Chains A and B, each alone.
Chain A
Amino acid sequence: MGKEVILSLKNITKKFGALVALDDVSLDLYKNEVLALVGDNGAGKSTLIKIISGAIIQNRGEIYLKGRKVDFASPIEAKRAGIETVYQDLALVDSLNVANNLFLGREEKVSVLGGTLKFLRHRYMEKRSKEILDTLGITIPNIREQVKFLSGGQRQSIAVAKAAAFGKNIIILDEPTAALAVKEVGHILELVKKCKEEGISIIIITHNLEHAFMVADRFAVLRVGKKVGERLAEDTDIDEIVKLITGGTLVKNGKDGSERKIVNA
């Protein structure tokens, strides 16, 4: 894997009053990788992705996107820089149809009378929506169906597809498999892999380590606001990640048979 760093966080600190939510966290995201950001409740995962997506601003530390320092004052600025975030329940408008949701905030318009009036290009957006879904292997019978009539998995697929279609650099997925039926989880994880094949870097937050291991190339573990470990997926297993998350110690046999002691904090 070419180790081109696309996003670099340096010494990020965020305080909410006396509470230190993130303490001097540095983290790199490489091009074309899936990074699983894991940790217990209150570890600072959500705070970190909100900082990356411009929803909140860090007290200290810098963010570099492709080597250039960025300061996102709002989610819209992060979007413009090609960072798309799929929040747990806030991704779609139920009463709009599939195509409308995919293009929400980015409607294609045609100017009439020299730009005094602008009308929506319904057909074009519907055609593009079909293409976007086809590329990612998502099957939605009717693109004009209101999303409230779709299953949780289909809705999540559309949310991810929306991020993938417009997130030129990075997409961030917040618990994409929570609240999904078992058979739908597979679809979403396949979709994450597809997005990676399309050349996008992905940060995925999940509590489900099995799901994380099915897609992630690398793990970053947070505990009470600090980064306590980074592991390549191929060099680690669920036990070790759990130990990192909970702060326990683990004794494990190394590849050469010797005992390897991993102590945290």
Chain B
Amino acid sequence: MENIKKNIAELNKNWGPQISLAVALILLLILFSSTSPFFFTSSNLANIGLYMTILGVMAAGATVALIVGMLDVSQYTILALVGAASITLDRAGFHIGIVLFFCLAAGAALGAVNGFIVTVLKVHPIIGTISSAMVMRGFTYMITASRTLSLNPETRGNYFAIGRGSLFGIPYSLIIMIFAYLVIHITLKHTQFGRYLFAVGGNSNASFLAGVNLRKIRFGALMISGVTGGIGAFLLLSQVGSLQPNVGEAALLNVIAAVLLGGISISGGSGKLTGTILGVIVLVVIQNGMTILGIQTFWQMIVRGAIIIIAVFINVIRGGGFKY
């Protein structure tokens, strides 16, 4: 009996958020399937799957930043600016391969700008990334002249082949996302950089005294977060083929909501990618379900805000209240 109790406590300690999210997900699937005939259809599930990949990739990057204790709220804006620039490149005749490379490099560069703002200018990460996001959004409107941009009709087929295509029934977008998770997982668990992400997030003073270069670690985390914004931009172009300059403006906190929902501690020092991906899936299912049920936009906003509060609240309880 003692042993079972101990095992349950262990399980809760290590996998608590994941288990509750899996249960929540099953309940949500039952709820939406029983209330709408359109929810559990292959086309809708594919829809969820595609939308999930963009949010999912960026959430993995946001997890890296949050493990070091930094909230990066600029990812959707990085997506917008990189996406707008990429379409411009495509229309100027650049090859899709070059555009893909540009997305990764520009994402990294914008992440590095965030890194500079946070580690060199020492602006608090939330303030720093909100302000850099404002600047980037301004540039996005400038590049697009406030209009929706579309890929060149002659080359967009190449993008759709990736964004809407699949390999043995598995969408390329999903494969890209899984690959990103794999790379980030290996970085977190098996490299010194990854170990230092957790160390700096857990106790930056102790890490400094142990010889860790704090600036380098924080800078690197924001660059990774930026790269995932760039990947998000490429996925969006490949799936949709066009970009509105205000893309993601209303969804600014979606990434953060998913990550917090996934049980990643807001105070840094811990976090699991399995939590992140489950948080992403639950969030996307809730949003999709509400849309399908015809729930009005204002209610959706209210629910989304409430989810963030609940997610952080659960976080607080787990971090400070429970003793194992």
| Chain A contact residues, CB within 8 Å of chain B | 75-76, 79, 85, 87, 90-96, 100, 104-107, 109, 117-120, 122, 149
Contact = CB atoms under 8 A, between A and B. Distances in A.
A78 to B, nearest CB: 11
B303 to A, nearest CB: 32
A224 to B, nearest CB: 28
A95 B318 CA distance: 14
A24 B90 CA distance: 71
B7 interface: no
B195 interface: yes
Interface in B252-268: none
Interface residues of B, number: 19
B209 A95 contact: no
A231 B75 CA distance: 63
Interface of B: 190-192, 195, 198-199, 201-203, 205-207, 209-212, 269-270, 324
Contacts of A120: 190-192, 195
B199 A104 contact: yes
A93 B190 contact: no
Contact of B269 (A93, A104, A119, A122): A93
Contact of A105 (B190, B191, B211): B211
8 contacts: A75-B209, A87-B209, A93-B202, A96-B202, A100-B199, A104-B195, A105-B207, A118-B192
Contact of A95 (B190, B202, B205, B324): B202
A93 B196 CA distance: 10
B191 A96 contact: no
A104 B191 CA distance: 12
Contacts of A79: 211
A95 B212 contact: no
Shortest Cβ-Cβ A-B pairs, 3 listed: A105-B210, A95-B269, A95-B202
A92 B206 contact: yes
A95 B192 contact: no
Which of A75, A85, A100, A104 neighbours the largest number of chain B CB atoms within 10 Å of its CB? A104
Given A91-B209, A94-B269, 6 more contacts: A90-B205, A93-B198, A95-B198, A95-B202, A96-B195, A118-B191
B192 A96 contact: no
